[in-house]
Amino acid sequence: MPARLAQSNAAELQRQLAELTGHTAAHVRPYGKHLLIQMHRDDGIDTVARLTEVAREKYTAAFRSHTGRWEPLPAPAASMRECAELVTALLASYLEP
């Protein structure tokens, strides 16, 4: 994903997460073909989930387990909005400020 497009996609995902969660505590950082969803907490930054672009405007979602491994969320490739909805529904407690 080119840098400018990655920044644009990260900003769009961050906007969608703010809309879905009702707060702006979740931040999104592009990392290669991934969009990392991070929570900034008093004791540091916690990377909660990521979206990975697998095709043009199609993403898969995964969460970081307690072991540090990425575990896929149970859903097929979908739009960014659908993945954002899935992440906020399944990982709501991790996305609380």
For 15-72, the pLDDT digits (tens) are 999 999 999 999 999 999 999 999 988 888 899 999 999 998 999 999 998 898 999 9
How far does CA 18 lie from the centroid of its chain?
11
| pLDDT for res 97 | 84
pTM of the complete model: 0.91
Q: Compute CA 3 distance to the chain's CA centroid, rounded to the nearest angstrom.
A: 17
Question: Helix 3-21 and helix 80-90: axis angle, to 10°?
Answer: 50
Distance (Å, rounded) from C-alpha 21 to C-alpha 4?
26
**Hunting for tokens 């896929």 — which residue is that?**
72
Which residues form the domain of 91? 3-95
What pLDDT is attached to residue 1? 54
DSSP 22: S
State how many domains the chain has.
1
**How many whole angstroms separate alpha carbon 26 and alpha carbon 28?**
7
DSSP category for residue 23: S
